[in-house]
Amino acid sequence: MTENDSVVVKVPARGEYARTVRLASAELASRTGMTIDDVEDVRLAVDEAFVYASTRAASDHLTFSFLLSSDLLELEVGPLLLPVGTDDEDGPDDRYSRFILEAVCDEYEAFERDGAGYVRLVKRAE
């Protein structure tokens, strides 16, 4: 792996593709030197991110953009309908997904860019 490798996975925003993204993320996390527990955290985070994103998808596809370095995995998911990540707009399931993402990731952020919403997650290798 070179410093800051980038991998993009675009899948239909349907539940049957969650496993595809989850498996890809686990393999990519293992390339950063993460422990088995950290890889499992990444799998859980990607699964929750998929659930959250698929209920808010701005189109019929979601893009999962991974950035790898020697000690972390960064993920950006989108495009999503606006607003994202606000307690005022999210239902109980969305709040639960955010709770899980904040618990298993080192960083969680919902933001807007170019008129669409995105979720950014970071997991660092221990």
pLDDT category of residue 53 using cuts at 50, 70 and 90:
very high
pLDDT, tens digit, 9 for 90 and up, residues 20-30: 999 999 999 99
pLDDT category of residue 70 using cuts at 50, 70 and 90:
confident
Radius of gyration of the chain (CA): 14
Whole-angstrom distance, CA of residue 11 vs CA of residue 58: 13
Q: Tell me the CATH number at 61.
A: 3.30.565.10
What average pLDDT does range 24-41 have in this prediction? Answer: 94
Specify the number of domains making up the chain. Answer: 1
Residues with Cβ within 8 Å of residue 120, at least 6 apart in sequence: 74, 75, 76, 77, 107, 108, 109, 110, 111
Asked if 97 and 48 touch (Cβ cutoff 8 Å), the reply is: yes
Whole-angstrom distance, CA of residue 21 vs CA of residue 38: 16
Domain membership of residue 25 as a residue range: 5-124
pLDDT, tens digit, 9 for 90 and up, residues 81-121: 988 766 555 665 677 888 889 999 999 999 999 999 999 99
